[in-house]
Structure 1
Amino acid sequence: MVLDLVLIGTAITLGPLHNSAFILLLSAHRGLLKGLVFILTWLAELVLVVAVVTLLTGGEPPARHSSPSVAGLVVKLVLGLALVVYGQHKRRRGASRSRGTPKWMARLDRVSAWTAAGLAVLLQPWGMVAAGGATAMNADLSSAASFLALMGFFLLATASVLAMELYATFAPARAHERLEWLRTAIDTHQDQAIVVLSLLLGLWLAGKSTYELVTLAA
């Protein structure tokens, strides 16, 4: 479970779309406030998904051969295959081409705090979050190790935007220049990043889930 959460959390935090949009939010009027709203909404979504799953399981991992355990593996398998298909689709469309800033992102310097919260919902990679929720089915909340693993997942999945918020707070002049450079780099390699993250995480989820399902059936 821990390794899966680390990989899923890393893929979420490295997603190019929300990172590029977040940098633009920081450059807006009262950008730090809007960035904070984005972060809190983003984190709340992650916590909500995991909380719902752990409430359904009672905070205890399902028995190895039980229906919930098999269902969790099937969900991860389907999500993994979906990520592979999506990544392959993006690759075939030409991931090597450069992209500029989308038109809707160019208007983020004028959005409200409520819109920033909405962006956190829209830009959340829900397929990956769902995979994190399916993985959290195996969490034992009476165990400190499982609790820390979930806290680590929340922190890791929020790490990129949290780091940028702190950077802009304590070194605003330097952060503006360097974050603009980072946004340009992200926009230029947006498709490549999506392809790599989707394929790597998708292959891992599909491969591991298939192995575990075959092991259960043996």
Structure 2
Amino acid sequence: MIAVLADLLTLGVAVAISPLSIVAVILMATSGKGRTNGTAFILGCYAWGILFVGVLVLIGRAAGAEDPDSGPHITIDIIEIVLGAGLLVLALLQWRGRSSHETPKWMASLDGLTAWKAFFVGVLISGPLSPKDLPLLAAAGGRISQAVLPVEQVVAVVLIFGIFGISAVAIPWIISVVSPSKVEVRLSGMRNWLVTNHAVIMAVLFVILGFKLIGAGVADLAG
């Protein structure tokens, strides 16, 4: 299990590094209902991550993906290569848009959210509306479904991977809980830097992960 988690660590950290999601949590943390909405937002991110990956793992293991010589195993490797190529394309698109430093308009409405709406926004941002997270979660689901592990360890891996995926967005929330009186001072600089540099951050991340997925898929096929 430890080896599988180590293999997934890069993907988990990549899911976690989502500048606009971190900015969203910072905006919630500095508003009147910051801790409540921030908690709901993070839970939404976590719930989507483990649900999406869990479903993919169920499908993969039901098809026999844990057998290295099976058709589903080979199919997952091919999909991984395709996802890696897609991330390289996204890297190019992000790099072309690096001159835009505007905060997305939807963030202006975060102050007025209820806890349930914040949860729903977390679900959307962590998957359905994220061009970054969907391929990464799909790759993680494929990797876990290929692992030769008992069911209880597979469940544990999915749950722990979900924690990897929310680690970065949890940081501003933790600051808002531990030091609520200084949250604005501590987080305003981080917020501005992330908004200014999010396209460059994502472009570099996409390049690294794109080549990682392509390399991992090719290595599996060649092995």
Report the residue type matching 1:139 in the other structure: A
Query: Which residue, 89, 111, 114 being the options, matches 1:112?
Result: 114
Segment drifting more, 101-110 vs 180-189: 101-110
TM-score (norm: length of structure 2): 0.85
CA-to-aligned-CA distance 1:154-210 (integer Å, 9 cap, x gap): 211111122222221121122221112111110010110110111111111012212
Structure 1 distance, partners of 2:124, 2:57, is 24
Q: Report 1:30-49 matches (<5 A).
A: 30-49=33-52
Report the residue type matching 1:47 in the other structure: I
Counterpart in the other structure of 2:185:
177
Query: Which residue, 88, 91, 94 being the options, matches 2:92?
Result: 88
Segment drifting more, 185-194 vs 153-162: 153-162
Q: Confirm whether residue 64 of structure 1 aligns to residue 87 of structure 2.
A: no
SS of residue paired to 1:189: helix
Report the residue type matching 2:116 in the other structure: W
Q: Report 1:144-155 matches (<5 A).
A: 149-155=157-163
Report the residue type matching 1:192 in the other structure: V
Structure 1 distance, partners of 2:32, 2:20, is 21
Structure 2 distance, partners of 1:143, 1:107, is 42
CA-to-aligned-CA distance 1:114-159 (integer Å, 9 cap, x gap): 3212221221122211121111112344287766544432211111
Counterpart in the other structure of 1:77:
81
8 Å CA contact 2:44, 2:123 repeated in 1: yes
Report the residue type matching 2:143 in the other structure: T
Counterpart in the other structure of 1:210:
218
Aligned-pair Cα RMSD in Å: 2.3
Cα offset, 1:98, TM superposition: 5.3
CA-to-aligned-CA distance 1:62-121 (integer Å, 9 cap, x gap): 211101101111121111111111101222x142x2503222212322222232122212
Counterpart in the other structure of 2:15:
12
8 Å CA contact 1:54, 1:139 repeated in 2: no
Q: Confirm whether residue 159 of structure 1 aligns to residue 167 of structure 2.
A: yes
TM-score (norm: length of structure 1): 0.87
Structure 2 distance, partners of 1:67, 1:200, is 28
Counterpart in the other structure of 2:105:
103
Q: Unaligned regions of 5+ residues in structure 1, if any?
A: none
Q: Confirm whether residue 197 of structure 1 aligns to residue 205 of structure 2.
A: yes
Q: Percent identity?
A: 29
Counterpart in the other structure of 2:137:
129
Structure 2 distance, partners of 1:122, 1:78, is 23
Structure 2 distance, partners of 1:63, 1:30, is 49
Structure 1 distance, partners of 2:122, 2:209, is 21
8 Å CA contact 2:84, 2:214 repeated in 1: yes
Query: Cα distance 1:60–1:47, how it changes in 2: closer, same or farther (>3 A)?
Result: farther
Q: Confirm whether residue 22 of structure 1 aligns to residue 37 of structure 2.
A: no
Query: Cα distance 1:21–1:37, how it changes in 2: closer, same or farther (>3 A)?
Result: same
Structure 2 distance, partners of 1:59, 1:33, is 41
SS of residue paired to 1:70: helix
The number of aligned residues is 213
Segment drifting more, 81-90 vs 114-123: 114-123
